Amino acid sequence: MNLKTFFKPSFITGYILAAFVTIGCYTWLIKRATMSFEEKFRQEVRDINSKLPMHVDAFTVMDSVAYVDSTPEEAAYYYSICGEIDNPVIWNKQAIEALRQHTIEDLCKNDMTLQMRQRGFVFSYHYYSESDPSLLLTEFIIGPEDYSY
């Protein structure tokens, strides 16, 4: 028997191939459906981090996201600030509070964070200088007392 004869398409080989594809799809769906929230969230964090760093806007680069398995659970976001606002003098109380309020508004509008908010997640945001990565410009935490769902 030669390879052409062996791999010649037929009804049976098509049926077997379709069965393998179907079993593979069902296995993936069952695995995904039985994953806990923590496993799904860890997978999302890995997926996001694989695409980083990423410019969020002209002055902000998202560097990484982390899931902190604590009580309460925490999602930590790390950013670098670049350009003309990469200056510690600019980061006064009013600017930081305006950023915090804007972040709370965005968080509450984001359907992707709804389940996290329902679970009482804490969201921490850390902004570092791009020109001096050891310089923390600001950080803040948004907890259940700050948002509604």
Question: If pLDDT is split at 50, 70 and 90, which confidence band does 49 have?
Answer: very high
Percent share of the chain, pLDDT over 70 = 77
Task: Give the mean model confidence (pLDDT) for residues 68-89.
Answer: 94
Domain topology for 37-142 = GMP Synthetase; Chain A, domain 3 (3.30.300)
Q: Which of the pair, 103 or 5, is modelled with greater confidence? A: 103
Tell me, letter by letter, the H, E, C secondary structure of 39-100. HHHHHHHHHHHHCCCEEEECCEEEEEEEEECCCCCEEEEEEEECHHHCCCCCCCHHHHHHHH
Q: Which of the pair, 123 or 111, is modelled with greater confidence? A: 123
Question: If pLDDT is split at 50, 70 and 90, which confidence band does 122 have?
Answer: very high
Q: Which of the pair, 40 or 142, is modelled with greater confidence? A: 142
Show me where the domains of the chain are located: 3-33, 37-142
Q: Which of the pair, 110 or 126, is modelled with greater confidence? A: 126
Average pLDDT, the chain: 84
Whole-model pTM? 0.75
3-state helix, strand, coil in the chain (%, to 5): 45, 25, 30
